[in-house]
């Protein structure tokens, strides 16, 4: 069985005004859906970023995959490398996932094709992807409630367009947490910080602890704080957080904070590519890596990352950006097979309000997703939904994520500063 055709479809779906240290989410989020078609209805699926520079690379690689054996992912990497050549110098603007490098770009382009190959392999041998990754060590993969400071609605949109409403203070954050945990049963909670001055975010954490005495809590300011501020916040949140995520920029800064912080530091900003591992781990800059198959080169390479983390005694969680159901299925198959997964994974799924390209998207209940028993990723495309979301893409006018530029339309004085406080 060989790949006959590769189809890359950019899609857009509505995104609420979620705030972060870079600005605010635009009304549409972009993704790209990858199909490796092998004939007789056999299709392997992958999902990745949908910004224009990344799409250009995906579209360049697509035709070179004709004739590929989906079991030969070494050949896949060789083909990706040959097509990209020196064309790997694209800055990482896909949403707070650290710096870029030629290696990281290659792995980011490889990822959706590798995932689609695994989906095909699973369908061909009649086993779920988790089985191809070593077998499942859990039947359900836990996810955490992902809280955001947010506006009630995008400027100009009806104020009740979004069921979650405004969250700009501890009460708003606790109300959001109640709604998310009530709907999805999440058993751990992450707050996206770096939006308000740190003391107000500490207050929100205290309010969450009071409202949810048994839920592990995390705070992620995306490098918005200096080393000094990070050390102070870490000291003041002692006993409240299971981990503090990316308080300050860079491996050196994180290592300085880690020396005094009473909780582990986690990252999806400083250890983001294989070349970051030796120094990041040797300096003890991080205690938890938020693995993300979308930029670590796919599912098998992310499993390798987890094994390296195990060797170093470093915990593993999973990172997310705004995504659809193929990514959730891939994370669930991966999470099912990772003995090292020591924390509930992040997901943006609730913020997509059900928008998807799948016929039967996986559901979050009891704070987790059941690993499908079906072969491959265990999900199927809904061609009409794909066409609708592609139509959104054609119409929405957004071609690259720009949280800072969008924020500056409403607050021209806003600057992306890391650290800010
Ligand atoms: O969606 O605004 C967002 C997040 O801030 C995202 O871009 C981050 O990459 O979720 C991410 C994180 O954990 O840093
Ligand atoms: Mg993070």
Tens digit of pLDDT for each residue in 295-349? 999 999 999 999 999 999 999 999 999 999 999 999 999 999 999 999 999 999 9
Our mutation pick for probing the ligand 1 site, out of 16, 30, 96, 98, counting the most ligand atoms within 8 A of Cβ, is: 96
| pLDDT given for residue 222 in this prediction | 97
Burial pattern 148-161, b for ≥16 Cβ within 10 A else e, equals bbbbbbbeeeeeee
CA of 74 to the centre of ligand 1 (A): 31
Whether 320 contacts 347, CB under 8 Å: yes
Residue 104 known to be catalytic: no
Are 66 and 54 in contact by the 8 Å Cβ rule? The answer is: no
Query: So what's the pLDDT on residue 102?
Result: 85
Compute the distance from residue 146 Cα to the ligand 2 centre, in Å: 11
Q: What average pLDDT does the segment 50-65 reach?
A: 97
Of the residues 192, 215, 323, 348, only one is catalytic, namely 192
Pocket test for ligand 1, best of 25, 219, 222 (most atoms within 8 A of CB): 222
Say what the pLDDT of residue 349 is.
98
Q: What is the pLDDT of residue 95?
A: 66
pLDDT at 280: 97
Residue range 98-109, pLDDT digits in tens: 888 888 999 999
Q: Which residues contact 279 (CB under 8 A, 6 or more apart)?
A: 251, 285
Q: Which of 104, 154, 190, 319 is catalytic?
A: 319
**Three-state DSSP class for residue 267:** strand
- CB of 29 within 8 A of CB of 61? no
Q: What is the pLDDT of residues 362-411, one digit of tens each?
A: 999 999 999 999 999 999 999 999 999 999 999 999 999 999 999 999 99
CB 392 within 8 A of CB 28: yes
Ligand 1, atom 2: nearest CA belongs to which residue? 20
CA of 157 to the centre of ligand 2 (A): 28
C-beta of residue 166 within 8 angstroms of C-beta of residue 150: yes
Ligand nearest to the CA of 20: 1
CA of 96 to the centre of ligand 1 (A): 6
Q: From the alpha carbon of 403, which atom of ligand 1 is closest?
A: 2
pLDDT value, residue 94: 64
Q: Is the pLDDT of residue 93 over 70?
A: no
Per-residue model confidence (pLDDT) at position 158? 81
**Portion of the chain with pLDDT greater than 90, in percent:** 92
Instruction: Give the residue, by CA position, lying nearest to ligand 1 atom 13.
Output: 319
Of 217, 199, 195, 219, the residue nearest 208 (C-alpha)? 217
Which bound ligand lies closest to the C-alpha atom of 348? 1
**pLDDT (tens digit, 9 = 90+) per residue, 227-282?**
999 999 999 999 999 999 999 999 999 999 999 999 999 999 999 999 999 999 99
Give the mean pLDDT of 220-230: 98
3 state SS of 291: strand
Residues in the chain: 421
Q: Which ligand is nearest to the CA of 29?
A: 1
Task: Please tell me what DSSP assigns to residue 239.
Answer: T
Q: What's the whole-number mean pLDDT along residues 161-185?
A: 96
3.30.390.10, 3.10.20.30, 3.40.50.11690, 3.40.50.300: CATH of 5-130+383-395: 3.30.390.10
The pocket around ligand 1, CB under 6 angstroms, is made up of 18, 20, 95-97, 192, 220, 222, 268, 319-322, 346
Residue 39's pLDDT band (boundaries 50, 70, 90)?
A: confident
Report the nearest-CA residue for atom 4 of ligand 1. Answer: 321
User: CA quadruple 95, 129, 380, 66: dihedral positive or negative?
Assistant: positive
Nearest CA to ligand 1 atom 8: 96
Task: Report the percent of the chain where pLDDT is more than 70.
Answer: 98
Contact between residue 38 and residue 71 where contact means Cβ atoms under 8 Å apart: no
Answer yes or no: 192 catalytic.
yes
Specify the residue with its C-alpha closest to ligand 1, atom 1. Answer: 321
Q: Which of 254, 321, 351 has the most ligand 1 atoms within 8 A of CB, as the residue to mutate?
A: 321
pLDDT of 357 over the 90 cut: yes
**How far is ligand 1, taken at its centre, from the CA of residue 321, in Å?**
5
Rounded Cα distance, 304 and 308, in Å: 6
Residue with the nearest Cα to atom 3 of ligand 1? Answer: 321
Asked whether the beta carbons of 175 and 149 are under 8 A apart, the reply is: no
- The answer to whether 24 touches 80, Cβ cutoff 8 Å, is no
122-131 per-position pLDDT tens digit: 999 999 999 9
Q: Is residue 143 within 8 Å of residue 371, measured between CB atoms?
A: no
* DSSP conformational letter for 64: G
Quick one: average pLDDT of 289-295? 98
Tokens of 4: 């006959």
Q: What is the pLDDT of residue 113?
A: 98
Ligand nearest to the CA of 97: 1
For residue 90, pLDDT beyond 80: no
CA of residue 148 to ligand 2 center, whole Å: 12
What residue ranges do the domains of the chain occupy?
5-130+383-395, 135-370
Q: Which CATH class for the 135-370 domain?
A: alpha beta
Q: What would the pLDDT profile of 60-82 be if each residue is shown by its tens digit?
A: 999 999 999 999 999 999 999 99
DSSP lists the bridge partners of residue 23 as 20
CA of residue 222 to ligand 2 center, whole Å: 6
Taking the CA of residue 96 as reference, the ligand 1 atom at the shortest distance is: 9
C-alpha span between 230 and 402 (Å, rounded): 26
> Closest residue (by CA) to atom 9 of ligand 1?
96
CB-CB neighbours of 115 under 10 Å: 31
The confidence score (pLDDT) of residue 14 equals 96
* Listed residue (36, 28, 30, 80) closest to 376, CA to CA: 36
Question: What integer pLDDT is reported at residue 101 of this predicted model?
Answer: 84
The owner of tokens 């857009």 is: 12
């Amino acid at each position: 069985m060989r790949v006959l055709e590769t189809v890359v479809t950019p899609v857009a779906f509505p995104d609420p005004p979620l705030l972060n240290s870079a600005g605010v989410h635009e009304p549409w989020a972009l993704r790209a859906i990858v199909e490796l078609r092998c004939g007789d209805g056999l299709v392997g699926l992958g999902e990745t970023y949908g910004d224009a520079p990344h799409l250009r690379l995906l579209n360049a690689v697509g035709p070179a995959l004709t004739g590929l054996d989906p079991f030969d992912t070494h050949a896949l990497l060789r083909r990706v490398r040959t097509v990209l050549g020196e064309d790997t110098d694209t800055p990482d603007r896909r949403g707070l996932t650290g710096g870029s490098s030629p290696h990281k770009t290659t792995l980011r382009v490889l990822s959706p094709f590798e995932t689609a190959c695994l989906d095909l392999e699973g369908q061909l041998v009649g086993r779920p992807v988790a089985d191809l990754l070593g077998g499942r060590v859990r039947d359900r993969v836990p996810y955490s409630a992902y809280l955001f400071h947010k506006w009630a609605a995008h400027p100009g949109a009806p104020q009740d367009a979004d069921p979650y409403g405004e969250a700009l203070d501890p009460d708003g954050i606790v109300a959001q947490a109640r709604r998310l945990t009530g709907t999805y049963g999440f058993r751990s909670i992450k707050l996206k910080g770096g939006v308000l001055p740190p003391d107000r975010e500490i207050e929100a954490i205290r309010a969450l602890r009071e409202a949810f005495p048994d839920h592990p809590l995390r705070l992620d300011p995306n490098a918005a704080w200096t080393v000094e501020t990070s050390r102070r916040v870490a000291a003041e949140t002692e006993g409240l957080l299971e981990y503090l995520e990316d308080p300050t920029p860079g491996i050196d800064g994180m290592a300085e904070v880690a020396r005094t912080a009473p909780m582990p530091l986690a990252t999806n900003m400083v250890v983001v590519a294989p070349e970051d591992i030796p120094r990041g781990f040797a300096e003890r800059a991080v205690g938890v890596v938020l693995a993300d198959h979308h930029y670590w080169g796919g599912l098998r390479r992310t499993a390798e990352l987890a094994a390296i983390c195990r060797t170093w005694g470093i915990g593993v969680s999973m990172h997310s950006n705004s995504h659809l159901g193929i990514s959730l299925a891939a994370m669930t198959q991966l999470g099912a097979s990772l003995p090292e997964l020591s924390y509930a994974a992040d997901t943006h799924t609730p913020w997509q309000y059900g928008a998807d390209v799948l016929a039967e998207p996986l559901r979050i209940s009891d704070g987790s997703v059941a690993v499908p028993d079906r072969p491959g990723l265990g999900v199927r495309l809904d061609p009409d939904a794909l066409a609708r979301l592609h139509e959104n893409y054609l119409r929405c006018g957004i071609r690259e994520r720009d949280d800072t530029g969008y924020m500056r339309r409403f607050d021209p004085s806003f600057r992306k500063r890391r650290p800010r406080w």
